[in-house]
Amino acid sequence: MRQEDLKALKKPFGTLVPDAQVTKEKISAIVRGAKKTIAVGDATTERLLGFGITPNLAVVDGKERRLVREYPRHDAKEIHCTNPAGAISQAAVDLLKEALLEKKPVLVVVEGEEDLLALPVFAMAPEGAVVLYGQPLEGMVAVKITTSKRKQAKDLMDRIGVEK
């Protein structure tokens, strides 16, 4: 992966909500009226559930900052996929595409690593959706999906590639 792409991936893709401001009220206001609420990451999913917000789609891998943990289960259709660390697999992209079409909540449990799967979620989520993910040691990032955000994600995916 190019250095420039690594830098782009480390920067928040949306609005960073500092940890001290990640409250039920703040996050509820961010997702209010969203076409879909999507969580990427175990800690983010757990926080949303703790706030009484059930994401339409949650993508978890049973790890938090590389440490194994119990992934947050909730009342959702649970499906599993494999995605290697530091990569985006075509199988995971295909599964996410289907999960985004579901009417009921879906929990995607990734064997491997879910971090980069935020990109295909940004690229494929419907306009008006809100995607939330953790920015380690900083807070939670909220991405409101627009045409330009989708294009930005697709361009970055094209540069880093999708494993077949």
Per-residue confidence (pLDDT) for residue 3, from 0 to 100: 75
Per-residue confidence (pLDDT) for residue 155, from 0 to 100: 93
How many domains, in total, are found in the chain?
1
Among residues 65, 66, 122, 69, the alpha carbon closest in space to that of 93 is found at 122
Q: Give the pairing of strands 15-18 and 139-144.
A: antiparallel
Q: How many residues does the chain have?
A: 164
Whether 49 is covered by a domain: the verdict is yes
Per-residue confidence (pLDDT) for residue 164, from 0 to 100: 55
Please check if 158 is assigned to a binding site. no
In order, the DSSP letters of 54-113 are --SEEEE-SEETTEE------SSEEEEEEE-TT--BHHHHHHHHHHHH-SS-EEEEEEE-
The answer to whether 14 and 119 have CB atoms below 8 angstroms apart is: no
Whether 124 is covered by a domain: the verdict is no
Per-residue confidence (pLDDT) for residue 161, from 0 to 100: 84
Per-residue confidence (pLDDT) for residue 8, from 0 to 100: 80
Per-residue confidence (pLDDT) for residue 9, from 0 to 100: 81
| Phi, psi dihedral angles at 78 (to 5 degrees) | -100, 125
Taking the chain (164 residues) in runs of 10, the rounded mean pLDDT of each run is 76 96 98 98 96 98 70 85 92 97 97 93 98 95 98 92 74
Per-residue confidence (pLDDT) for residue 62, from 0 to 100: 87
Please check if 36 is assigned to a binding site. no
Per-residue confidence (pLDDT) for residue 140, from 0 to 100: 98
Query: Tokens representing 96?
Result: 């996410």
Per-residue confidence (pLDDT) for residue 26, from 0 to 100: 98
Per-residue confidence (pLDDT) for residue 160, from 0 to 100: 86
Per-residue confidence (pLDDT) for residue 103, from 0 to 100: 96
Please check if 42 is assigned to a binding site. yes
**CA pair distance 53, 88, nearest whole angstrom:** 27
Per-residue confidence (pLDDT) for residue 63, from 0 to 100: 80
- The whole domain housing 152 covers 3-119+129-160
Please check if 63 is assigned to a binding site. yes
